[in-house]
Structure 1
């Protein structure tokens, strides 16, 4: 199964992206989320399929979230915690 999706980047938070169905676009994204996300900036269009690799997300989970919710929100990577003195 393949799915065409539009990917938007957040102008407010580096590394935050919204994946949405290409045909529905942002219609299914809750208004409250869009307020926190900021004005979405179109980054790219992707064809998703189970064998495709994504840099920071599991493609199957992305496809499932789009099918169930109408969107997938990719949060920025969390900074690694510094090692405590005992761990270094």
Structure 2
């Protein structure tokens, strides 16, 4: 299963996977608008992959099959202050 990966010029570490190069017909217009003009990163064969760097391979394949695209967003930023406060509350 081949797919094409694009990065967002507006949102750091945000990637859009589509089944065919330059075919964004399955991607909602509002998503494309907020994503910005997609910038080609690579074409990959998902069938020959064991894993992906920051995405669940099975989830990517399933969403490509079901909706025609997969959106990879960066992991949430850790809130160290909130974690520290939660630890302080546990200790008290």
Shorter-chain TM-score: what band?
A: 0.7 to 0.9
Aligned counterparts of 2:22 and 2:7: Cα–Cα separation in 1: 17
2:40 paired with 1:5: no
Aligned residues: 86
Q: Report the counterpart of residue 87 of structure 2 in structure 1.
A: 87
- Which deviates more from structure 2 when the two are superposed, residues 19-28 or residues 31-40? 19-28
Task: Report SS of the residue matched to 2:41.
Answer: strand
TM-score (norm 2): 0.83
Between Structure 1 and Structure 2, the one with more strand by share is: 1
Aligned counterparts of 1:59 and 1:86: Cα–Cα separation in 2: 34
Unaligned runs of 5+ in 1: none
What RMSD over aligned residues (CA atoms) do the two structures have, in Å? 1.9
Q: How does 1:36-75 map to 2 (within 5 A)?
A: 36-49=34-47, 51-75=49-73
Unaligned runs of 5+ in 2: none
- How many angstroms does 1:80 deviate by? 1.3
- How many angstroms does 1:28 deviate by? 1.1
Aligned counterparts of 2:7 and 2:21: Cα–Cα separation in 1: 18
- How many angstroms does 1:86 deviate by? 5.5
Structure 1 pair 85–21 and aligned structure 2 pair: CA distance change class (3 A): same
Instruction: Find the structure with the greater CA-based Rg.
Output: 2
Aligned counterparts of 1:22 and 1:79: Cα–Cα separation in 2: 32
- How many angstroms does 1:22 deviate by? 2.2
